[in-house]
């Protein structure tokens, strides 16, 4: 008997990887032709999106599989939920690439633009591969592929930056690198214990000969993935790296990278089958601590990027929330919440990048509704989505869907913590919203009038993301 390869099922991973290689080859052949690199990178992401589309039509229990062994187990397996996560990552990476291109296509950084494109494509390929991993080797390689290029993106600063800002970028990259190494060590140790407990590196539901050893392996794997999702107490790198990296890179870390983290958690939960109480309790505690600490610290932030960094920590708790139950709907609830979070966060970051010429503090956004209403309204919609308030109904529905498995499983203490954090989250985002709708000072109005015009590509991103939020708020059924 032979292995069933089915290479077409892996197109969502192969397309961005191939595009990354071709971008570097094109740069060697045609140096200085930045537009061609952007088009090629976009084609790679588009190819991945086209490869994902068949998976979106799958029914419950069906999957697109590749590299299937004679035993019937596959090293790559993409269900409908996996395809949704892959599509989210590819589209979000496209948004980030457009945001980053303006900064990296200036004359002072011409040679870096293809490198940035190749790094984004490589990291995105790793992100797309994680939720489809069917064995520990694929999972480990995909997780590192999704992480290591982002370290280079953080430290690959704009040449126009001051020495102090470049030094902070190095600090942020080192924090991310050290976190990645610790995370990889925990996951590798957990993988070794998994093999010792089950006798196989495959991630099918194990019939463990050593349940205690398997429980320890699952806790170590969970801890390693918690670093990547920015869950408390594994979150310390997040505000350091987010505030020191270029804004488009921060947007990538807070959106696309989180797809890899959730994908890894879903692979773990799916592999464990009937998750034992110890693992469920660990996930519940991570969720409760993350949303509480993230919201409380976000309430004290005066900088929009730092606020979004701590918002990521809080939202990680909401993503983990449904996974703390044995509900059959938990994985879909977590995936749906992540899609909404990525949409709201991307829209917020696009607006922050558009007004960043005037600064990124909350005070720099004062009176934005009166001076730049076409940016203020989308920002308000993004904040309301993250807060779960109308008219951004999709954010409210996402929180209800995330809470439903917890209430249905009778975990009332966790539901109470989540309810308290609903109020805290509203306070976090309404505080920013109040600054946006306030009366601007004369100094702020003068400084904002001197900011260069917003690029057309940014306006397109703002319009498309805003339209998505509006459509999903009117008819949110499509992703839940």
DSSP string, 166-221: HHHHHHHHHHHHHHHHHHHHHHHHHHHHHHHHHS-SB-S----S-HHHHHHHHHHH
Across residues 428-442, what is the average pLDDT?
85
pLDDT digit string, tens, across residues 26-73: 888 877 666 778 888 899 999 999 999 998 888 877 888 888 887 777
Per-residue pLDDT, 7: 84
CA–CA separation, 28 vs 467, rounded Å?
A: 39
Element (H, E) at 227: helix 211-229
Across residues 369-387, what is the average pLDDT?
91
Per-residue pLDDT, 15: 94
Average pLDDT, the chain: 84
Q: Which of 142, 117, 124, 135 is nearest to 51 (CA)?
A: 124
Please say whether the beta carbons of 436 and 348 come within 8 A. Answer: no
Greatest mean pLDDT among 55-69, 84-98, 319-333, 361-375: 84-98
Across residues 293-313, what is the average pLDDT?
91
Question: Can you give the residue ranges of every domain in the chain?
Answer: 282-480
Q: Which of 89, 97, 123 is nearest to 338 (CA)?
A: 89
Q: Which of 254, 230, 250 is nearest to 180 (CA)?
A: 230
CA–CA separation, 97 vs 460, rounded Å?
A: 13
Per-residue pLDDT, 426: 93
Q: Which tokens hold the place of 310?
A: 């701590």
Under DSSP, is residue 418 helix (H, G, I), strand (E, B) or coil?
A: helix
Under DSSP, is residue 157 helix (H, G, I), strand (E, B) or coil?
A: coil
CA–CA separation, 98 vs 160, rounded Å?
A: 20
Express as a percent the part of the chain with pLDDT over 70.
89
């Amino acid at each position: 008997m032979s292995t069933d390869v089915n290479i077409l099922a892996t197109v969502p991973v192969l397309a961005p990887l191939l595009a990354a290689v071709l971008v570097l080859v094109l740069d060697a052949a045609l140096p200085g032709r930045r537009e061609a690199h952007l088009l090629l990178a976009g084609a790679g992401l588009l190819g991945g999106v086209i490869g994902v589309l068949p998976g979106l039509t799958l029914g419950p229990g069906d999957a697109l599989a590749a590299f299937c062994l004679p035993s019937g187990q596959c090293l790559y397996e993409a269900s409908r939920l996996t395809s949704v996560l892959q599509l989210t990552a590819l589209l979000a990476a496209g948004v980030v690439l457009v945001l980053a291109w303006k900064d990296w296509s200036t004359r002072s950084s011409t040679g870096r633009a293809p490198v940035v494109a190749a790094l984004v494509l490589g990291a995105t390929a790793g992100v797309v591969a994680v939720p489809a991993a069917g064995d520990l080797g694929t999972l480990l390689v995909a997780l590192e592929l999704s992480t290591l290029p982002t370290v280079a993106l953080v430290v690959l600063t704009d040449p126009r930056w001051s020495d102090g800002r470049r030094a902070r970028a190095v600090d942020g990259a080192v924090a991310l690198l050290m976190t990645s190494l610790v995370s990889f060590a925990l996951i590798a140790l957990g993988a070794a214990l998994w093999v010792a407990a089950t006798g196989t590196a495959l991630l099918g539901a194990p019939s463990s000969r050593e349940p205690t050893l398997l429980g320890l392996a699952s806790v170590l794997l969970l801890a390693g993935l918690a670093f990547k999702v920015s869950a408390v107490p594994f979150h310390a790198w997040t505000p350091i790296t987010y505030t020191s990296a270029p804004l488009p890179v921060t947007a990538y870390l807070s959106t696309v990278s989180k797809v890899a983290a959730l994908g890894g958690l879903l692979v773990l939960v799916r592999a464990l089958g009937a998750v034992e109480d110890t693992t469920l309790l660990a996930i519940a505690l991570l969720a409760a601590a993350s949303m509480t600490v993230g919201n409380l610290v976000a309430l004290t932030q005066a900088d929009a990027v730092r606020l979004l960094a701590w918002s990521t920590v809080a939202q990680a708790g909401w993503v983990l929330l449904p996974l703390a139950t044995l509900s059959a709907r938990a994985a879909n609830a977590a995936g749906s919440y992540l899609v909404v979070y990525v949409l709201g966060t991307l829209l917020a970051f696009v607006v922050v990048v558009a007004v960043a010429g005037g600064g990124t503090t909350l005070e720099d956004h004062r009176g934005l509704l009166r001076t730049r209403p076409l940016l203020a309204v989308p920002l308000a919609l993004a904040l309301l989505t993250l807060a779960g308030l109308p008219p951004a109904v999709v954010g409210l529905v996402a929180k209800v869907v995330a809470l439903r498995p917890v209430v249905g499983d009778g975990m009332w203490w966790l539901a109470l913590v989540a309810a308290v954090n609903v109020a805290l989250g509203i306070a976090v985002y309404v505080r920013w919203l109040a600054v946006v709708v306030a009366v601007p000072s004369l100094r702020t109005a003068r400084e904002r009038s001197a900011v260069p015009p917003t690029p057309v590509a940014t306006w397109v991103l703002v319009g498309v993301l805003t339209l998505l939020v509006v459509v999903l708020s009117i008819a949110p059924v499509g992703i839940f």
